[in-house]
Structures are given as structure tokens and as C-alpha cells.
Amino acid sequence: MNITLIAEPSSNPVLDTALDLLRERHAVSVLDPRSLSPWGFRPEPSGRRDGDMVLLKSRTAEARSWAHHAERAGAVVVNTPTATDTALDRQLSAELLEAAGVPTPRTLAFASLADLAREAYRPGAAPLPWPLVVKSRTSRRGDLVRLVVGRHELAELLPEWGREPVIAQRFLPNDGFDLKFWVVGGHVSVARRPAALEVRRKDADVELDPACLPEGLVDIALRAGHAIGLDLFGADIVLSEGRPVVIDVNAFPGFRGASDAAAHLAGFVEQAWRQRAVAS
């Protein structure tokens, strides 16, 4: 099997180990998305013929476009380009989660942050559910994710983010911690981490046994990713007034903190390939 990982250069011990395991039996290459044109093309990309496995880690438009071309050429792409596109669209993701019955915060969408601010100040408008978590509609590195407690804080964001398409979700009172789920196919790992709006240190994770979680939590995390069409994903859940709520789903995270992630990732790739062989 020819395996291509599309990913920006980085030091990720999970991915590095998984690729080393796969190299023992397969041909593995890494494609830097910066080498691609804006339309996802590059001259005669290696390993792009019927029978290839493509791992779509990068979220750039060029990488997703290349993955779409590879999929049409017969490659097995994980996560699929369509699912990855969906996961990056926070508004669409929220709609799919709600349609699937996955508990998620009430989500409002605005064409721009300026439109949200106008709604907040408009006389006679229905009151917004303050405080709000305001996020860029499109998930990307360096995007807007901010807790906003009132109109004045919202106005302070306008000079930098006024034209940004955004969603706004009601901030849910919680115990200050996220439950971070990592899913590789059917394998689930989970850790407890200080809420992302409070701290971004990953060394504060406390690994948990999924079997010891309250009933239904693992199922909610799995349903969240599957509603978007993902096989490799992370899901963040908070407990608000004792009720689990999914606040984020992301495609193909780095899996740092997940238990035995490299072995499970390598095993999933081979399993997905075997399923493709049986289906064909």
C-alpha cells in the first residue's frame, strides 16, 4: 500500500511513530501542502493512483483540494475531504450536531462580527444570551475565539475582526474543565483539561478511563464526530449543570495525550485499507 500524509512540517511524536510503524510494511510519503498550487495541484504527485491511502492532516485549502482530486482518482482519503470541510465550518457543524440530537450550545450565525454588534445595539432586538463565546465561522490557526460578556467587549473586537464571519454561542456555566475525547476509528481516549478559554496548557491533562465515565458520555463524543462524517477526530465536552454538552469537534487532531495513539492510528489505516479491499 502507498500511504501519503498531507501535513505541515512539525514535530509530532504520535504521527512520527505511526508513520514508522506503517513504513515497516508499506511505502509512506509526506506531502507538504505548501508545495501545492492554490487549486491543490502539483506536477505528477507521487502516490496518487487507484489503491492509495491518503491521510488528510492539513486543513489548508490547497491540501483539501488535492485530497478531493486524490479521492476522485480512486484513493481512500481519511478523513474525507468533505468531512474535513464540514468540520472547519462551525455553523454547518453546529447544524449537523443539532440535527443528530447531539447536545450542543445554542448557536447564532452572522455574516460578520459587525453584524453581530449591530444586532446587539439594535433598539427592540431580542436580547442576546450573554455571555457569549464568539468564534470565527471558519476554524483555522489564529482565528477568533473569545468569551464576550457584554456589548462593550464586543465593540472592542471590531477594529480587528469587524468583517469576520462569526458564530456566537451562549457560554455554558461549568466546572472549568473540558473532557477531551480523541477518537481513532472506534478507539476512544479521554482526558480532563482546564477549559480552553482559561488555559491552553496540554501538560495539565489528567488521563481518564473511558469505561469509568458517566454513562452516555463516550456515545455522545462518538455521535458528534460521526454526525460530521469523521473517523479521526477530537471532541470537547463540558458538563453544564450536570448535563454533557459538545462545544467543539475537530478533524484529525495531533492526538497528543491520547493513549497508545500511534499504534491505534497505524492499525486504523491498515483496517481501512482492508475494508476497501473487501468492498472492491
Structural domain contains residue 154: yes
pLDDT, one tens digit per residue, over 202-247 is 667 899 999 999 999 999 999 999 999 999 999 999 999 989 999 9
Q: Which alpha helices (DSSP H) does the chain contain, by range?
A: 13-23, 61-72, 81-88, 90-99, 113-121, 151-156, 158-161, 217-228, 261-279
Q: What is the pTM of this model?
A: 0.91
Of the chain, the end-to-end C-alpha distance in Å amounts to: 15
In terms of domains, do 100 and 178 share one?
A: yes
Give how many domains the chain has, as a whole number: 3
Structural domain contains residue 267: no
CATH number at residue 75: 3.40.50
Q: What is the pLDDT of residue 273?
A: 87
In terms of domains, do 67 and 97 share one?
A: no
In terms of domains, do 94 and 181 share one?
A: yes
Structural domain contains residue 264: no
Domain interval for residue 156: 107-170
The pLDDT of 5-11, averaged and rounded, is 91
pLDDT band at 195 (very low <50, low <70, confident <90, very high): confident
CA dihedral 73, 79, 81, 86 (to 10 degrees): 160
